[in-house]
């Protein structure tokens, strides 16, 4: 599903104008990114939690030149942990 698909579906189900739905969705995503950039967690009950984690620096090697060692610097990554209800829906066995 793309952002466009989401906007069209919400607009169809609510009767709102697609441009208004797009504006609200864009603002929501911008606020989420802004909070993550500050290092804050973003939590949606029963959906999940976005968390900023620090990945330690490590040593890497080029597979084409195994003797060449490269230091990969520490960096921030965003992790997502599913909420209880989402986990129950997504992890349901396939029939």
State residue 62's pLDDT score.
83
Q: Parse the chain into domains and list their residue ranges.
A: 1-40, 41-95
Q: What is the phi/psi pair of residue 18, to 5°?
A: -60, -35
Three-state secondary-structure class, residue 35: helix
Query: pLDDT (tens digit, 9 = 90+) per residue, 46-68?
Result: 899 999 999 999 999 888 888 88
| Global pTM value | 0.78
How many angstroms separate the CA atoms of 49 and 61, rounded?
A: 33
Q: In the predicted model, is pLDDT for residue 11 greater than 80?
A: yes
Query: pLDDT (tens digit, 9 = 90+) per residue, 16-55?
Result: 999 999 999 999 999 999 999 999 999 999 899 999 999 9
State residue 95's pLDDT score.
72
Token duo for residue 95: 């029939």
| Domain over 41-95 is classified CATH 4.10.520.10 | yes
Token duo for residue 1: 């599903």
Q: How far is CA 47 from the centre of its chain?
A: 12
């Amino acid at each position: 599903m793309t952002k466009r698909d989401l906007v069209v579906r919400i607009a169809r189900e609510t009767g709102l104008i697609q441009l208004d739905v797009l504006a609200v969705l864009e603002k929501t995503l911008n606020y989420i990114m802004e909070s993550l950039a500050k290092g804050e967690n973003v939590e949606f009950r029963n959906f999940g939690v976005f968390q900023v984690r620090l990945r330690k620096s490590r040593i890497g090697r080029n597979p084409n030149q195994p003797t060449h060692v490269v230091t990969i610097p520490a960096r921030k990554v965003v992790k997502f942990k599913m909420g209880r209800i989402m986990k129950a829906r997504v992890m349901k066995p396939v029939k």
